[in-house]
Amino acid sequence: MKTYQDQIGNVLGLKKTPLRIVSLVPSQTELLVDLGLKDSIVGITKFCIHPSSLRKEKTIVGGTKTINTEKIKTLQPDIILCNKEENTKEIVEACLKIAPTHVSDIFTIDDVIELINQYGEIFDCVSKSSEILDDLTNKLTNFQQFIKGEKTIKVAYFIWKNPWMVAGNTTFINHLLELNNFENVFRDKERYPEVDITKRSSVDAILLSSEPYPFKEKHILELQKKLPNVKVILVDGEMFSWYGSRLLKAFEYFKTLRNSI
């Protein structure tokens, strides 16, 4: 039996390479497909939208916060993949009673690299995981060279409305904002706090994420009435919050975004 320690310190034992996977995290589902493991996926969430055909081909076992444990049991998974932020403690505990459960915990790109390495070992696809990591490293290095000469821009990154909520410190989003040489004006707050943007006098741009709240053009107009001197932009939330292989597309997007501000 091989043992692995996940990113929250839990140890899981596997007698063989898992051939039946239930993934409860959309970005990790996408990563599995890019690792060549599509045929091994038996269960996903309703939010696992990449690739778009997947929800027609696999069993949907719920969302990221609510799951149907009976559905998962009938799939007889060899492993269940969770994330500390995306899934609740109760979900993880329920999954542990069904099959070995791996929980990721992502704050930085280094954590992403660790996760991809772990998946390579667990699912016996080291060659493909190494290929993805080489590509990721090259794209990251290229972007770091690009961003060197770019000025610091003070931003607020909104994820929700009614109440207005932003990405604060100790989040993967904040890490990517810093990588973009964006200064998060709410970095003094933890996680995803409710805020009043009108009380922050120094902000250059407001970034409205496409997820989890589906911000639209009308919300730009709403905020610009309150803050006429601040640039308000819609941004692709997947690029800022989906880790794994989505990052391979993110850095070119970040370049375009920087050039638009």
Predicted local confidence at residue 149, as pLDDT: 86
Pull the structure tokens for residue 244. Answer: 């794994």
Residues 122 and 152 in one domain: no
Per-residue b or e along 56-92, where b marks 16 or more CB atoms closer than 10 Å to that residue's CB: eebebbbbbeebeeeebeebebbbbbbbebbbeeebb
Predicted local confidence at residue 198, as pLDDT: 79
Cβ(195)–Cβ(186) below 8 Å: yes
Residues 163 and 223 in one domain: yes
Predicted local confidence at residue 261, as pLDDT: 86
Predicted local confidence at residue 200, as pLDDT: 74
> Could you tell me the mean pLDDT of each successive run of 10 residues in the chain, 261 residues long?
96 96 98 98 97 95 96 98 97 98 98 98 98 98 95 96 96 98 95 88 93 95 91 97 96 94 86
Predicted local confidence at residue 175, as pLDDT: 98
Indicate the SS3 state at residue 79.
strand
CATH of the domain at 32: 3.40.50.1980
Cβ(115)–Cβ(243) below 8 Å: yes
Residues 157 and 99 in one domain: no
**Could you give the number of structural domains in the chain?**
2
Residues 107 and 200 in one domain: no
Predicted local confidence at residue 13, as pLDDT: 94
Residues 153 and 66 in one domain: no
pTM above 0.85, yes or no: yes
Residues 193 and 99 in one domain: no
Residues 219 and 253 in one domain: yes
Residue in 118, 87, 85 with CA at minimum distance from that of residue 4: 118
Residues 121 and 171 in one domain: no
Question: Is 132 inside a domain boundary?
Answer: no
Tokens 């970034």 identify what position? Answer: 207
Question: Is 138 inside a domain boundary?
Answer: no
**Which range of residues forms the domain containing residue 20?**
2-126
